[in-house]
Structure 1
Amino acid sequence: MKVAIFGLGYVGFTAMCCIAKEGHEVIGFDISEKKVNQINRGVSPITEPGVDELLKEGLKAGSISAHTEIKHHLEDCDIAIVCVGTPSAPDGAHNMTYIAEVTRQIAAAIGKNRTSPLTVVYRSTIRPGTVEGLIAPILASELGSAFERSVELVYNPEFLRESSAVQDYFDPPKIVIGTVDGKPSARMDLLNKNLKAPTFYVHLGESEITKFVDNTWHALKVAYANEVGRICMQLGLSAKKVHEIFVSDTKLNISPYYMRPGGAFGGSCLPKDVRAMQFIAADCGAHTHLVDSLLRSNEAHKYRLFEHSTRGLKPGAAILLVGLAFKAHTDDLRESPNIDLARGLLREGYKLSVFDPAIDANKLVGANLGYAYTQIPTLAQLLVSKEVAEGTAYDRVIIANDTYRKLDIGKYDDIINLNALS
């Protein structure tokens, strides 16, 4: 294929060299004449292991060239990849100036007489909704009625790390391709045919947010590790040894289990130990702002789940809450977020029933008993059997934990699953 790349910085230039290595013809565009001249002379504009050799190979094979102006170069291109910068604006949002300008230039260069659509791929980091809300309207305005037959829009985030970008290109952790309808793109499949990685075809919005989710998570990990490190330093402990112990646990600490969007955290351990960690950090002067935010974030999530659970439903409606304990198949109600949800539903005037076969109000003891009845004094009257749950017409069923597997859920019309948000 013939591939055009707009923006020859770290991402664009690396992509140019790697795509040429795959046997495609690549033409690059950048506003910097100095950079373009460097590339055409075989001098890499960036310092990155492996790119110098790939650039020289591409130039020798005649598969790489760089330009400052588009002119006629897009006429026989199959794919155009946009890698221009999206720097921070003063308010923290991304500055879309370069995206808008290069999109306008591409639209003007495509023309209205293409026999097959140009696959226009964006790799610049952009907020969800940008392709449909900014890019598509610019293209449609320029191309008019020819827009849909002239352009195939794709968002394809990159996952290249500086100093290992070439290796990451050929051995990516994943491939995410967003299209208008969420279906595969034949040209993207051809471009990536030699790359072995989990591949996700999704709608544009899910692909656009992927990079934000990844990078925020990486920042969160670093910040959390450093907060733990500060606590260890203040207490005279070995942060290195604590880290070694932590990362050895791939069953819980490094796993997808706790990373699934769903219910708030609760139970007898997490809230209690987060509070204790906050106290320890404050007491030793470690200043752990991230740890300090966890309980506030959890409370905000509880409220959001309550809003989600009751949307479009007026007080007085009959609701079945499936699962009251913080974890299915246990009767531990201590600091269960589902208790908070049940209290909110009762407070707002909903007719609430609770199905959780692991809970017997007459068998609760100790702190579990005390917590349950101080939070929901009418608990015994709210609990219903499987027969009652399946034989009653409810306006809505709210799934709060995996207890729903004990019910014939298919008989209910209005179900909201908080256990795993979709």
Structure 2
Amino acid sequence: MKVAIFGLGYVGFTAMCCIAKEGHEVIGFDISEKKVNQINQGVAPITEPGVEELLTEGLKAGRISAHTEIRNHLHDCDMAIVCVGTPSAPDGAHNMTYIAEVTRQIAAAVGTTRTSPLTVVYRSTIRPGTVEGLIAPIFASMLGEAFKRSVELVYNPEFLRESSAVQDYFDPPKIVIGTIDGQPNARMDLLNRNLKAPTFYVHLAESEITKFVDNTWHAVKVAYANEIGRICMQLGLSAKKVHEIFVSDTKLNISPYYMRPGGAFGGSCLPKDVRAMQYIAADCGAHTHLVDSLLRSNEAHKYRLFERTTRGLAPGASVLLVGLAFKAHTDDLRESPNIDLARGLLREGYKLSIFDPAIDANKLVGANLGYAYTQIPTLSQLLVSKETAEKTTYDRIVIANDTHRKLDLGDHGDVINLNALS
């Protein structure tokens, strides 16, 4: 097939590389000229294991190209996949501006002369009812009677974890496909023909809520574990031992993943989708007290970790923060709790250095770039090399993610690991 992808961020760019690996021709679209030029030159715009090699292979085979304008590129496409951002609006709902605009652009480019419909697949996280209540009406208003023969709408949430996104694409935990009638879609079957996972064909709204359910649950697990960890610390108990006992019960306690007292949750998905789930619950009259408490609990945990980081350390002391991205081996800084920690340390007058080899201040783009420099304007001056981090004597070293595995800390005595409360 020939597949178009709109939005070449973490989800869209990874999908582009993986779909091309499957033998399909992929054309990508993004408003960032810098990002598009990087891709066409064989430079991945994100840091994610495996994508650089897949990009090189796809370009060499002539299966990948990137553009800033649609023009007539959609005329012979079989499928268009939408991966644009849905950031939080001031009230906690998802901002649908980018979804509405890209839908309008696709409708204008599709026209009314297609002999077979373009399968338009949405992967951006959107509120249940969005495809039928916002997206379909935009297509209908622009295409008129040609709507149903020109376009078929699908919602297909992604389950990619940063730092293992390529592996997750080819070995997903599940495949969820939403259609108007809840029935299978031939082109989606072709796209996923080599993927082995439980597959669910459901109605659109059921597929749209899937990501909220998953991400809210992941947030629940992290916040719950950290609350137990704080109680243990206050009572002088070993949070590590309590955790060991809890996760040994894989029959009733489901899974140990996310269930380890440690860092606060963050990143581009969990905070955003929890806020949106709160909005959805309030809007429909549900009463979800645990969900409503998650972000407050997470902020409390961030403050507790800041207290732990600075306990007994006078302002002016030197601190090495190991890991700035919310997850090691990626450069995604959006809503990283480690950004909040860094800001707190700077605000209180500590001499901060940051070691995170996945982050190059000169290579950040898009929303990631904007978030990084609005939160820490001096980021480029704070980042230090591996050599500097290992040779410099700091008053305290703070491990914020698994980046420390790339660093030889020697016998430095004052090391705090926020990844695991013990």
Q: TM-score range by the shorter chain?
A: 0.5 to 0.7
Moved more, 223-232 or 408-417: 408-417
Which stretch of structure 1 is more off in the superposition, 351-360 or 228-237?
A: 351-360
Question: Does the 8 Å CA contact 1:78/1:119 hold for their aligned counterparts?
Answer: yes
> Could you say if the C-alpha distance between residues 22 and 413 of structure 1 is closer, same or farther in structure 2, counting changes exceeding 3 Å?
same
1:253 Cα shift? 1.5
For the residue of structure 2 that corresponds to 1:411, the secondary structure is coil
Deviation of residue 244 (structure 1)?
Answer: 1.4
Do the aligned partners of residues 253 and 332 (structure 1) sit closer, same or farther apart at CA in structure 2, a change above 3 Å counting? farther
1:34-64 CA distances to partner (integer Å, 9 max, x unpaired)? 1101100000000101000000000000000
For the structure 1 residues 69 and 251, does the alpha-carbon distance in structure 2 shift closer, same or farther, using more than 3 Å as the test?
Answer: same
Asked if 2 retains the 8 angstrom alpha-carbon contact of 1:231 and 1:286, the reply is no
Alignment partners' CA distance in 2, 1:196 and 1:231: 42
Q: Which runs of 5+ in 1 are unaligned?
A: none
- The answer to whether the 8 Å contact 1:230/1:286 transfers is no
Matched residue of 2:325: which SS?
A: coil
State how far apart, in whole Å, the 2-side matches of 1:89 and 1:162 are: 23
CA deviation after TM superposition for structure 1 residue 207, in Å: 0.4
Deviation at 1:88, TM superposition (A): 0.5
Structure 1 contact 48–164 (Cα < 8 Å) conserved? yes
Show structure 1 runs of 4+ deviating over 4 A: 255-422
**Take 2:340 and 2:206, find their aligned partners in 1: how far apart are those partners?**
31
Could you tell me how far apart the structure 1 residues matched to 2:378 and 2:50 are? 68
Measured after TM superposition, the shift of residue 241 of structure 1 is 1.5
1:221 and 1:402 map into 2 onto residues whose CA distance is 19
Tell me, in whole angstroms, the C-alpha distance in 2 between the residues paired with 1:25 and 1:304. 49
What TM-score do the two structures reach when normalised by structure 2?
Answer: 0.62
Match of 2:192 in 1: 192
- Comparing 224-233 and 234-243, the one that deviates more: 234-243
Distance 1:420 1:116, change over 3 A: farther
Distance 1:304 1:205, change over 3 A: farther
1:343/1:285 Cα in 2 relative to 1: closer, same or farther (>3 Å)? same
Give the secondary-structure state (helix, strand or coil) at the position aligned to 1:86: coil
Distance 2:341 2:190 in 1: 49
Residues 409 and 109 (structure 1 numbering): CA distance in 2 closer, same or farther, change over 3 Å?
same
Q: Distance in 1 between matches of 2:377 and 2:31?
A: 70
2-structure distance, mates of 1:335, 1:380: 18
Q: What displacement does 1:151 show?
A: 0.8
Task: List per-residue Cα deviations over 1:213-232 (Å, max 9, x = no partner).
Answer: 11110000000000000111
Task: State the distance in 2 between where 1:367 and 1:30 align.
Answer: 12
Q: CA deviation at 1:187?
A: 0.2
**Post-superposition offset of 1:240:** 1.3
Question: Residues 276 and 46 (structure 1 numbering): CA distance in 2 closer, same or farther, change over 3 Å?
Answer: closer
Kept in 1, the 8 Å contact 2:223–2:265? The answer is no
Q: Label 1:177 to 1:357 Cα distance change in 2 as closer, same or farther (>3 A).
A: closer
Answer whether contact 2:398 2:418 (CA < 8 A) is retained: yes
Residue 383 of structure 1 and its aligned partner are, at CA, apart by 72
Query: Residues 113, 411 of structure 1: CA spacing in aligned structure 2 closer, same or farther, 3 A cutoff?
Result: farther
RMSD after superposition: 24.3
The Cα offsets for residues 225-271 of structure 1, whole Å up to 9 and x where unpaired, read as 00000111111111111111111112212179999999999999999
Choose 1 or 2 for highest CA Rg: 1
Change (3 A) 1:78 1:66: same
> Contact 1:6 / 1:81 at 8 angstroms: preserved in 2?
yes
SS of the equivalent of 1:368 reads helix
The count of residues paired between Structure 1 and Structure 2 equals 422
State whether residues 399 and 416 of structure 2, in contact with CA within 8 Å, keep that contact through their aligned partners in structure 1: yes
Q: Relative to structure 1, is the Cα distance of residues 301 and 188 closer, same or farther in structure 2, using a 3 angstrom cutoff?
A: farther
If asked which structure has higher relative contact order (CA below 8 Å, sep 6+), I would say 2
8 Å Cα contact 2:226-2:301 kept in structure 1: no
- Cα deviation 1:319-373 (Å, max 9, x = unaligned): 9999999999999999999999999999999999999999999999999999999
